[in-house]
Structure 1
Amino acid sequence: MKRVEDRIRVLIAERGMTLLQLAIQSNITEATLHAILNRNDAKYSQLIRMARTLNVTVAYLMGESEIQNISDVQETQAGYVVLKTEEVLDMQRKIIELQAKLLAKLTESEV
């Protein structure tokens, strides 16, 4: 089962939802949802909203991954690491500080 339409249909059935509920909760029209399901005519922004509503990753919805929820990802199994935004920002600040120190040392050695 690789098609987006198939995955959407299975997920809404598993969650006991209707197509109308998915459309409303994803902030897309019911006609748009039917176009997606019948003609595989989805914009990425629509896929993001549906994935959030269905609590799955866009990669899963598109058939690129068998991992439904990013919180289920384990580093050793999938090669992913889940980080909080604050942790990423802290690492970026440290990198910038180290780059500044390195640049200062290089500038000193040139003088």
Structure 2
Amino acid sequence: MKKLVSAWFHIPFWQRVLGAFVLGAVAGWLVGAPAGPWFQPLGTLYVNLIKMIATPLVFFAVINAVAALHGQKSMAVLGGKTFLWFAVTAALAVGVGLG
């Protein structure tokens, strides 16, 4: 069992993800739509867990980034970049909303 786990972790991550994607697609094709109600609770649980982890993850990433700053100059640079990023994304959102 230990050798199997060791061999599994020696496979590059992208290959494991690609393999899981292919296996999931084949399983979905074989089983079809009737299995949907059986797997819906798992999908709902997965999405809820992702939603639950997103906010604390972003919050602590921002806290960590601010704590790593040294001096007022780096805070000013961060503030400028943040404002620029906000302005660009707001302009894109307005463009998408009006277009």
TM-score, scaled relative to structure 1: 0.26
Higher relative contact order (CA 8 A, sep 6+): 1
Q: Which has the higher helix share?
A: 2
TM-score, scaled relative to structure 2: 0.28
